[in-house]
Structures are given as structure tokens and as C-alpha cells.
């Protein structure tokens, strides 16, 4: 006998067959709609996050070129921000503490003041001479003695220049009474320079310097014009080379002139003791490389007279190590040097 189903039983049987068909279809499908949505959501989330290697291996930001050579207030401000971003732990605190050294690093006029006006002092090309002459006078003597001797030399030269009626140099205002010019130096007799306190060697260096600044030759620019051209182009290395070719001007003197007077943005005086100490303090010294000549006391031949202290002195880095550490800071190594000096003095 055939079994007869009631209406409820028939409905139950139909539902079970329907569920069974759905289960078979789900098993045959590679992914259910729910799993597909989850996979899509997971893929979207992971693609928005950078891989770990990208964050770790990202190169350090490189400083842009100065806005205009030599330094301007804008390019110095930009350089200070860039150095702080490159070294937030080492340099940012120093920059915050000491500020931006506008007065120290902006290019100078004849009077030694920072040049705020681009057109200021354009008629006088001997501002380099006065600074270099002062540096030669100050070699191997104390600061006070150097100031006294330089003042006497200026007086002797102005007197000799006036006596010869050669006082028509292109200087303005009160600068004529304080600045030393090559014309006046050549007008002064050697006994007058010796009486001012110069040694015979230093007097000969100053005379040679004055001759280089005034001698333009038949086809070449004078040294003053050449230095102005290189300063405007921001070519610090060539400018230093030109200066070192002058008798009595050593590498350290040339570097200090380009860095502090001409506004060269990318000078790194690796032979300076303060720079070495600053690197050792901020970046760590290198074993077996201590010592070196330092700035601040440069001999007649241009070699530093700073003596090394071997006992209880920090290990100083080699020139190669300093150049390597400073490479990421191109073309702002003059500003880096300033903060290295500040670090060494603290």
C-alpha cells in the first residue's frame, strides 16, 4: 500500500529538498558570496597599508640646492629646517637653542656687516682684501695683539696713501677710515709696516696679496674680481683653491674666509679642531684617528698650530669619516659646520 502524506509532511519534505539543493550548490561554488566579500574587504585593507620594508628602507630626505648662492636669509632658513629634519635628534636641539646664524654666515660688506641689500657695496671690490689681510696679521698672535697691529697697519697705509695723493679709491662713507685697501698697502713703505708691528715675512705676504688684488694682467681678471665671480656662482671649492695660491694664505684661512665672509654655503673645514670635536660629540669618534691641526691659530705657511692633547682627549674622527657623515648635508655643510662648533663648545 502506498503511504499517504499529510499536507504538513509534504511541506516539510519540500523544504528539506530545497535546503539540500542549496548545500550542493554551495559546495560546488569556489567561494560563497559571504567569503568573497570578506576576501575583497581584506585585500582592500592590506593594499592601503605600505609594506614594512617600504617604511624601513625609505631613503633619508636630501637637501635641495640653496635658493641662490651665496647665502640669503631665505636659503639659510631653508637650510636650518632641512638640517633639523635630517637629524631631529642630533641637530634639531642645537638649531632650536642657537637659532639661525644670519649675522655669522650671510656675505659681508667692507665693514664686516651682513649684507642685507643685494646691491650694497657693489662699487667696491676690495672687501675680500681687508678680511684676508686681517687674517694674515692675526697669524700666531693673540686676538688683542692682532687687533692692535692691524689698526696700526691701517693708519700707516692711510697716511702713506694720503701723502702720495692716492686716496681716490671707490669707498663710501666712514668705511674709508677703517678698511684696508691694496692701494694703501702698496703705498706704505716697508719700514712703516714693520714699525706697525709686522714681521718682515708678514709684511711681504701683505704686499704680495695687494699685488694679486690689483694685477689683472692682459687677459685675466684680478683676484678681487675673480673671487666676486666665484662667490656669486657659489663655487666654494674653486674659491678656496684661488685663495690658497696666494702666499701667506693657508687652507684653513681660505676656508674661514669663504665660510664667514663670502657666504659660501658648502664649506666643511675638516682640519679644524672644533669641527672634529663637534663630529666626535654628535656622531661618535673613530678609533685610532685622533688629533689633527685645528683652526684659530694658523701659521705663516697656512698650517694650523693647534697642538693635540693625547691624555684624556676624546677620540677624533678621520677626514674620511667626517666627509662620509657630512655627505647627506650637501650643499649646506657651512651651516652644519656652524652647529658642529656650537656642539664642541658645549
Q: Which of 19-33, 168-182, 281-295, 309-323 has the highest mean pLDDT?
A: 309-323
Higher-confidence position of 44 and 278: 278
User: For the segment 144-191, what is each residue's pLDDT rounded down to a tens digit?
Assistant: 999 999 999 999 998 887 766 544 444 433 344 457 889 899 999 999
Write down the pTM of the prediction: 0.69
Among left, alpha and beta (phi > 0; psi -120 to 50; other), residue 179 is beta
User: For the segment 234-265, what is each residue's pLDDT rounded down to a tens digit?
Assistant: 889 999 999 999 999 999 999 999 999 999 99
| Closest listed residue to residue 224, CA positions, set 302, 130, 153 | 130
Least confident of 23-27, 154-158, 212-216, 232-236: 23-27
> 127 near 121, Cβ under 8 Å?
yes
248 class by beta-carbon count within 10 Å (0-12 exposed, 13-18 middle, 19+ buried): buried
Least confident of 50-64, 108-122, 217-231, 261-275: 50-64
> 340 near 270, Cβ under 8 Å?
no
Quick check: 313 pLDDT over 80?
Answer: no
| Domains (range + CATH), the chain | 73-106+268-345 (1.10.1670), 127-261 (1.10.340.30)
Question: Which residues lie below 8 Å from residue 25, measured CB to CB, with a gap of 6+?
Answer: none
Q: Which pLDDT does position 280 carry in this prediction?
A: 95
CA 54/CA 141 separation, integer angstroms:
56
Amino acid at each position: 500500500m502506498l503511504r499517504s502524506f499529510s499536507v504538513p509532511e509534504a511541506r516539510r519534505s519540500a523544504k528539506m529538498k530545497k535546503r539540500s539543493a542549496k548545500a550542493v550548490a554551495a559546495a560546488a561554488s569556489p567561494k560563497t558570496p559571504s567569503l568573497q566579500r570578506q576576501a575583497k574587504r581584506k585585500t582592500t585593507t592590506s593594499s592601503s597599508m605600505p609594506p614594512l620594508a617600504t617604511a624601513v628602507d625609505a631613503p633619508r630626505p636630501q637637501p635641495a640646492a640653496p635658493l641662490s648662492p651665496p647665502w640669503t636669509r631665505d636659503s639659510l632658513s631653508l637650510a636650518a629646517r632641512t638640517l633639523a629634519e635630517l637629524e631631529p635628534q642630533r641637530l634639531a636641539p642645537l638649531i632650536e637653542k642657537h637659532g639661525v646664524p644670519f649675522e655669522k654666515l650671510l656675505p659681508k660688506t667692507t665693514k664686516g656687516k651682513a649684507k642685507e641689500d643685494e646691491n650694497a657695496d657693489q662699487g667696491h671690490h676690495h672687501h675680500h682684501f681687508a678680511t684676508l689681510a686681517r687674517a694674515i696679521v692675526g697669524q700666531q698672535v693673540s686676538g688683542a695683539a692682532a687687533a692692535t697691529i692691524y689698526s696700526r697697519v691701517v693708519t700707516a697705509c692711510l697716511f702713506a696713501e694720503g701723502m702720495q695723493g692716492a686716496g681716490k679709491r671707490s669707498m663710501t662713507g666712514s668705511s674709508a677710515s677703517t678698511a684696508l685697501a691694496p692701494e694703501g698697502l702698496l703705498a706704505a713703505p716697508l719700514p712703516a709696516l714693520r714699525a706697525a708691528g709686522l714681521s718682515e715675512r708678514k709684511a711681504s705676504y701683505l704686499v704680495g696679496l695687494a699685488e694679486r688684488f690689483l694685477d689683472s694682467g692682459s687677459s685675466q681678471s684680478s683676484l678681487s674680481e675673480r673671487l666676486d665671480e666665484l662667490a656669486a656662482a657659489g663655487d666654494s671649492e674653486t674659491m678656496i683653491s684661488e685663495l690658497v695660491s696666494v702666499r701667506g694664505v693657508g687652507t684653513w684661512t681660505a676656508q674661514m674666509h669663504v665660510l664667514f665672509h663670502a657666504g659660501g654655503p658648502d664649506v666643511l673645514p675638516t682640519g679644524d679642531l672644533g669641527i672634529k670635536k663637534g663630529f666626535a660629540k654628535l656622531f661618535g669618534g673613530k678609533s685610532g684617528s685622533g688629533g689633527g691641526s685645528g683652526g684659530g691659530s694658523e701659521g705663516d705657511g697656512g698650517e694650523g698650530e693647534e697642538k693635540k692633547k693625547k691624555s684624556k682627549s676624546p677620540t677624533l674622527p678621520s677626514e674620511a669619516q667626517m666627509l662620509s657623515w657630512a655627505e647627506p648635508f650637501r650643499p649646506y655643510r657651512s651651516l652644519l659646520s656652524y652647529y658642529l662648533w656650537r656642539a664642541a663648545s658645549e
